[in-house]
Structure 1
Amino acid sequence: MTAPRVAITGLAAVSALGRGVQAQLAGALAGTAAFGPVRRFDAGGRRVTDAATLTDAGTLADELAGAVAAACHGLSAAERATTPLLLGIHGHPDGGRDTTATTAGFARALATRAGLAGVARIYTCACVSGSTAVADAAAEIHKGRSGRVVVAAGYLVEPDQFALFDAGRALARDGAARPFSSGRNGLLLGDAVSAVVLEPAGAREVLAEVTGWGRAGDAHHVVRPDPAGAGMARAIEAALRRGGLGPDEVGYVNANASGADGDSAEAAALRRAFGAARPPVSSTKSVHGHGLEGSGLLELVITVLAAQAGKLPVNAGHLAPDPACDLDLVLDGPRKAASPHALTVNAAFGGANTALLVRAA
């Protein structure tokens, strides 16, 4: 029996680039960064006061519910009632102020509000939360264990994580994220709320297919990646192997790079995994910021949209080449895609790495 192909049949996203998936694609192709002074809370006492925030953002619960509803608009109430939720989230937004507010309770309430069957799993594995959830969902569908899964993930810039990243001197002081660039000096946080529907191909209109996925660990350092990029390279190689694709067949890589020191390790991983092949690379964090637990899913959505449009997002904020980041960067404007196959990679503290391979329908 042939294993089911894994289809993406619903997409939704919200970020500082705007509401809806087309706003994400337009912002990524334009390369116009959405960073500005934080107005959501008082950041006046911090070293850095910039982030990419949506002016009219509601609560995280409301934004996630809206994203799930938008992604599921093609599903009937009966179909939603048999569909589980996989959720990537940092924790209950009120957990620090209310000891009765649990992450599990937040997830159950979201599933109930969306009319879904319940919560199958919650991912709190930092910046690979959303991408790990997609990999798990794809594996379950591919093995015939699940008929349909909704994956949602979200983060809205808030004072606690902002303060931690600022105190750790991880944020860019010049108000720009500059992935892979000489002169980069840190990341900037950003809102990222997304949802996707995954199911076996043939159930309804296919927007794209998840053809490969891979995960690997560095086991190198708590917060610093392996400088040689070995873990991320293994994740990429696993995704290509599962997708039956050669390195020269990938038409685009949406990188994890945030404008921090670790960008050079990712560049090493890409060179290691792709060898002589040099696929076009950009990091859309350069325009929408780092959405922590929400970043991987938002970047998957943008990668799918770019593959559909046949246009590659700009690596914004670039000042000058860094010899340690010798890649084919998309710099001066959106580039025409040479292949329907695209890869999105993510990395997290603790040395976790994910790679998701998609093909435009």
Structure 2
Amino acid sequence: MAEREHLRITGVHAISALGRGADALLAGVLAGAPAFTPVRRFDTIGRRVTVAATVPEVGTLADELTDAVDRACRAAGLDRTHRAGAALFLATHGGPHSLPARPAGGGDTAPEVPALAGHLARRCGLGGRTRTYTTACVSASTAVADAATLIGRGDLDRVVVAAGYLVEPDQYALFDAGRALAADGAVRPFSAGRKGLLLGDAVVAVVLESARAAAVRGAPTVATVAGWGRAGDAYHPCQPHPEGHGLARAAEAALRRAGLPAAAVGYVNANATGTPYSDASEAAALGRVFGAAAGRIPVSSTKSVHGHALEASGLLELVVTVLTLGHGKLPVNAGWLGPDDSCPLDVITDAPRPAPTPHALTLNAAFGGANTALLVSAP
């Protein structure tokens, strides 16, 4: 059986500034109202930008990840026995903000970052292997691609992929000092007048299973991961290739693995962060993949609504893509001011559109020239 026939998404859960749970996420991205508000979690005095898309009441990242994994497993119908054999692949930024709080009254200190996946697995009853991914903004999508590969060749039956980032002062300060944050407080992907990105919270978990394992349990299929691809630019430490070579190769690999022509894709959930250089590069990549049809395929970047969740972005945007495909409507690209000649794309700007096909690409890119593409299909 080919790899593309093996992989099913059977459970999802997500937390973002749009709310808690899949229903809140779907409603938020379809409403298209940006969730950026003044940061209250830490002091932003002296910063150029003082807004982000944050969850008002939130626990430690470890606790939120535990809850997300548990809820995704319950959504997939995994009982204790099924969980015991499941692997956990975790994408996170690391650092002190990702560690569990120390026990009340002292005692053992919290685990170091490499042990966080094991800590979460034990709390959620997952007994399979664990991996931790800290490869910047392609961390979560790389974890999904690895899970898909291992399930596809029969090494694993079931993987829970989890990812989390809660906006914290260190990364916020770095992006602000680097003048990457949008000074006008809005993310405007592919638009004229775009000024940069804004950060956002995301804690997400997805259950991936082989078709056989899902069928044995009678599990519902939320979506199919039909193809995946990864490629590197090796062009610049921070900037993608201006012609989008790496991202184009990743998307083409996903299409080949899925056994689908480019014409089958009816939507692209773009990586677009609202930065002038990278958005233009991504538009060039889509032109390489789709040719003359690139200007007719609906495209949006939902970072314009929920913000950039760094290591968790790939998983949040995967869930957005499968939920909107399943609902039959495609989300808007908020913040639009007008077309930019460097981004000749069919950007969804006014209202959600009907999904023309059951197939979509979700793209991610990271510093260092890393690029990923996941091709998903509605059930």
* TM-score interval, smaller chain: over 0.9
CA deviation after TM superposition for structure 1 residue 230, in Å:
0.4
Cα distance in 2 for residues equivalent to 1:320 and 1:181: 6
Letter in 2 for 1:231: G
Cα distance in 1 for residues equivalent to 2:313 and 2:97: 21
Letter in 1 for 2:87: P
Q: 2:311 aligns to what SS in structure 1?
A: helix
Residue of structure 1 in register with 2:85 after alignment: 82
1:340 to 358, 362, 365: 358
Residue of structure 2 in register with 1:243 after alignment: 258
Letter in 1 for 2:182: A
Cα distance in 1 for residues equivalent to 2:341 and 2:352: 23
User: How do residues 108-119 of structure 1 correspond to structure 2 at under 5 angstroms?
Assistant: 108-119=118-129
Identity of aligned residues (%): 65
Point out the more displaced range, 295-304 or 87-96: 87-96
Q: 1:258 aligns to what SS in structure 2?
A: coil
CA contact (8 A) 2:97 2:168 kept: no
Letter in 1 for 2:358: P
Question: Within the alignment, does 1:286 sit opposite 2:290 as a pair?
Answer: no
Residue of structure 1 in register with 2:373 after alignment: 355
Q: 2:365 aligns to what SS in structure 1?
A: strand
1:219 to 210, 217, 234: 234
Point out the more displaced range, 220-229 or 105-114: 105-114
Cα distance in 2 for residues equivalent to 1:208 and 1:132: 18
Question: Within the alignment, does 1:266 sit opposite 2:282 as a pair?
Answer: yes
Q: 1:121 aligns to what SS in structure 2?
A: strand
CA deviation after TM superposition for structure 1 residue 22, in Å:
1.1
Q: 1:331 aligns to what SS in structure 2?
A: coil
Residue of structure 1 in register with 2:12 after alignment: 11
User: What TM-score results when the alignment is normalised by the length of structure 2?
Assistant: 0.93
CA deviation after TM superposition for structure 1 residue 104, in Å:
1.6
Task: Return closer, same or farther for 1:279/1:168 CA change in 2, 3 Å cut-off.
Answer: same
2:330 to 312, 324, 329: 312
Cα distance in 2 for residues equivalent to 1:359 and 1:323: 31
CA contact (8 A) 1:51 1:289 kept: yes
CA contact (8 A) 1:227 1:264 kept: yes
Task: Decide which structure has greater helix share.
Answer: 2
2:173 to 163, 167, 170: 163
Residue of structure 2 in register with 1:132 after alignment: 142
CA contact (8 A) 1:92 1:101 kept: no
CA contact (8 A) 1:254 1:282 kept: yes
Letter in 2 for 1:209: T
CA deviation after TM superposition for structure 1 residue 170, in Å:
0.4
Cα distance in 1 for residues equivalent to 2:350 and 2:98: 43
2:271 to 246, 256, 268: 256
CA contact (8 A) 1:212 1:239 kept: yes
CA deviation after TM superposition for structure 1 residue 145, in Å:
1.0
Letter in 1 for 2:32: G
CA contact (8 A) 1:60 1:93 kept: no
Q: 1:127 aligns to what SS in structure 2?
A: helix
CA deviation after TM superposition for structure 1 residue 105, in Å:
2.0
Cα distance in 1 for residues equivalent to 2:125 and 2:33: 37
Question: Within the alignment, does 1:69 sit opposite 2:79 as a pair?
Answer: no
Q: Deviations over 1:108-137 (max 9, x none)?
A: 111111111155211000000000000000
CA contact (8 A) 1:147 1:199 kept: yes
Q: Which runs of 4+ in 1 moved over 6 A?
A: 95-100
Cα distance in 1 for residues equivalent to 2:148 and 2:235: 28
Q: Name stretches of at least 5 consecutive residues in structure 2 with no aligned partner.
A: 103-108
CA contact (8 A) 1:284 1:299 kept: yes
Aligned residues: 361
CA deviation after TM superposition for structure 1 residue 240, in Å:
0.5
User: What TM-score results when the alignment is normalised by the length of structure 1?
Assistant: 0.97
Q: 2:253 aligns to what SS in structure 1?
A: helix
CA contact (8 A) 1:111 1:119 kept: no
Q: 2:376 aligns to what SS in structure 1?
A: strand
Task: Return closer, same or farther for 1:350/1:115 CA change in 2, 3 Å cut-off.
Answer: same
Cα distance in 1 for residues equivalent to 2:98 and 2:289: 40
Cα distance in 2 for residues equivalent to 1:2 and 1:222: 36
Cα distance in 2 for residues equivalent to 1:200 and 1:93: 35
Cα distance in 2 for residues equivalent to 1:206 and 1:105: 31
CA contact (8 A) 1:95 1:102 kept: no
Letter in 1 for 2:25: Q
2:248 to 233, 236, 239: 233
CA contact (8 A) 1:108 1:118 kept: no
CA contact (8 A) 1:107 1:119 kept: no
Letter in 1 for 2:83: R
CA deviation after TM superposition for structure 1 residue 37, in Å:
0.3
CA contact (8 A) 2:92 2:98 kept: no
Residue of structure 1 in register with 2:340 after alignment: 322
Letter in 1 for 2:372: T
Residue of structure 1 in register with 2:106 after alignment: none
